[in-house]
Amino acid sequence: MSETEIIEDLTRLEELEGAWDDLAVANAEPTSGPAWMLGWWRHAAPPDARLRVVTVHDHGELIGIVPLCVEPTDPHRYVLLAHNFTSSVTPLARADRTWEVAEVAARALRQAQPRLRSIALAPLLASSPWVAALPDVWPARIRPLVLRHSVVDAPTISLRHDSLDDWLSNRGSSFRANARKRRKQFERAGGTARTSTHETITADIQKFIALHASRWRPLGESRLVALGERLPHLLGELAQALLPTERFRLLLLELDGEPVGAQLTLAGGGELVGVNTGWDERFKHFSPARLALLYALEDSIARNEHRYSLGREASHRLGRGTSSYKLGFADGNDPVAESVLLPRDPRLAGTLFTSDVVRRQLRRSVRQALSDDEIDKAKRLLKRVRRSPK
């Protein structure tokens, strides 16, 4: 018989790090493990957020974890840890025990304080079983309402190839030729690629931060840059937790010893998740981001890993009609969805209207119903209305 516990303090959660990490590896979910989620909690979570992590044990073994917290903006809305900091996060369970874990966790959550009025199951893979399992086993006479308010493409690269050359042979001839040309140019100019080790990690983290900040600060849209002085601490902790098992992969591209590009990837259970990149604009002609990805793919294929996840930002941030270099690499798609679970209680109507659920649902329906041209027209119209003097 499985037992449940709601963990509200970090120390208790840290005690479970080993078992939690095993679950993350078994589920091939590097960004739902303790290193990433607790790193987010320590360095990126809102200051007044409260931990509400549900753990499920069977005969002393951790068989599932639903890592939630409550943010100060809405104390009755439960969200997954690191939800705003990564492409996808998820509760975890041992193989074929998701429904059992969901049932036990749902019972615990029903009793949790502050009283739960909604759970944001986001961003979760669109095929995740949790969105079906939690409402189905929810301990109430009426099933909770589940609303899905966005589905975003998340490009992926399959690594089931014998070598990088084998992978390249499946790409278009122009992509293949470009990739080989760039690499040759870089290596001919004295360029080298290396992955951080215990000896180099502290300095490499500083190099990554410098390259990342110089690239993204002017663009003003990096969640990592926004962390400021907390970023080296977060990366340091991640490295400490994951470097010994070679799951923290910081790849440095150097020209005559000078760093020109860096890429950080986390791995677990054969899945790789690209965290972020940085490069020196002076060496833009080498396409450091593409080069780094190629080197990372070569390394991962050699390690017999399965998949490189490029993240939903790859297509999301760019919007319609544009393309990212990442999309050129992708050969698959595992979309990510945002859903919200709303238990039926007398305050449901209030919850619906005070949260942004209805607005997002409406926006999604309008997007589906209108063509691209109509959406552009509507956007222009809205802009004009907003600008016009009141």
Contact pattern from residue 158 through residue 177 relative to another protein, giving x for each residue in contact according to CB under 8 A and a dash for the rest: x-x-----------------
Instruction: State which residue, 1 or 219, has the beta carbon closest to another protein.
Output: 1
Look up tokens 């951080």; give the residue: 196
Sign of the four-CA dihedral 113, 36, 119, 62: negative
Select the residue interacting with another protein from 173, 174, 322, 368 (CB under 8 A).
Answer: 368
Burial of 154 from C-beta contacts in 10 A (0-12 / 13-18 / 19+): buried
Kindly indicate which of the ranges 10-18, 97-105, 259-267, 288-296 contains the residues binding another protein, using the contact rule CB under 8 A. Answer: 97-105
134 binds another protein (CB under 8 A): no
User: Inter-axis angle of helices 173-188 and 288-302, to 10 degrees?
Assistant: 100
Cα–Cα distance list, 360 to 165, 339, 349, 364 (Å): 44, 11, 16, 6
Q: Which residues make beta-bridge pairs with 120?
A: 79, 340
Site membership for another protein, residue 345 (CB under 8 A): no
156 lines the binding site for another protein (CB under 8 A): yes
Question: Contact 111/78 with Cβ under 8 angstroms?
Answer: no
Residue 146 found at the interface with another protein (CB under 8 A): no
Q: Which of 1, 219, 349, 369 is the binder for another protein (CB under 8 A)?
A: 369
Instruction: Give me the count of residues in the chain.
Output: 390
Our finding on whether 128 is near another protein (CB under 8 A) is yes
Among 140, 177, 189, 302, binds another protein (CB under 8 A): 140
354: number of Cβ within 10 Å:
14
Bridge partners for 332 per DSSP = 156
Q: Which stretch binds another protein (CB under 8 A): 37-45, 153-161, 178-186, 243-251?
A: 153-161
132 is a contact residue toward another protein (CB under 8 A) = yes
Whose Cβ is closer to another protein: residue 253's or residue 337's?
A: 337
- To another protein, the closest distance from the beta carbon of 32 in angstroms equals 15
Q: What is the DSSP letter of 115?
A: P
CB of 220 to another protein, least distance (A): 31
Nearer to another protein by C-beta: 76 or 176?
Answer: 176
Whether the Cβ atoms of residue 9 and residue 51 lie closer than 8 Å to each other: yes
The one among 153, 237, 254, 345 contacting another protein by CB under 8 A = 153
Task: For residue 230, report the phi and psi dihedrals to the nearest 5 degrees.
Answer: -80, -20
What are residue 384's phi and psi, to 5 degrees?
-65, -40
Query: What distance in Å separates the CA atoms of residue 251 and residue 194, rounded to the nearest whole number?
Result: 6
348 near another protein (CB under 8 A): no
Which of 114, 333, 344, 383 binds another protein (CB under 8 A)? It is: 333
Q: Which amino acid is at 309?
A: S
Cβ-based nearer residue to another protein, 260 or 357: 357
* Exposure string for 208-246, b = 16+ CB within 10 A, e = fewer: bbebbbebbeeeeebebbebeeebbebbebbbebbbeee
Q: List the one residue from 307, 312, 341, 357 that touches another protein (CB under 8 A).
A: 307
Does residue 212 belong to the site contacting another protein (CB under 8 A)? no
Which CB, 196 or 265, lies closer to another protein? 265
Residues with Cβ within 8 Å of 210's Cβ and at least 6 positions away in sequence, in order, are 259, 278
Write down the H helix ranges in 217-342: 230-242, 288-302, 313-316, 325-329
User: Does 355 help bind another protein (rule: CB under 8 A)?
Assistant: no
Count the residues of the shown chain that bind another protein, applying the rule CB under 8 A.
33
Q: Which stretch binds another protein (CB under 8 A): 43-51, 76-84, 132-140, 226-234?
A: 132-140
Distance of alpha carbon 260 from alpha carbon 212, whole angstroms: 11
**Of the ranges 120-128, 179-187, 264-272, 312-320, which one interacts with another protein (CB under 8 A)?**
120-128
Establish if 95 lies at the interface with another protein (CB under 8 A).
yes
Phi, psi of 100 (to 5 degrees): -65, -45
The whole-angstrom separation of Cα 377 and Cα 29 is: 40
Contact between 221 and another protein per CB under 8 A: no
313 part of the interface to another protein, by CB under 8 A: no
Judged by the rule CB under 8 A, the positions of this chain that interact with another protein are 94-97, 99-100, 126-129, 132-133, 136, 140-143, 148, 151, 153, 156, 158, 160, 307, 331-335, 337, 368-370
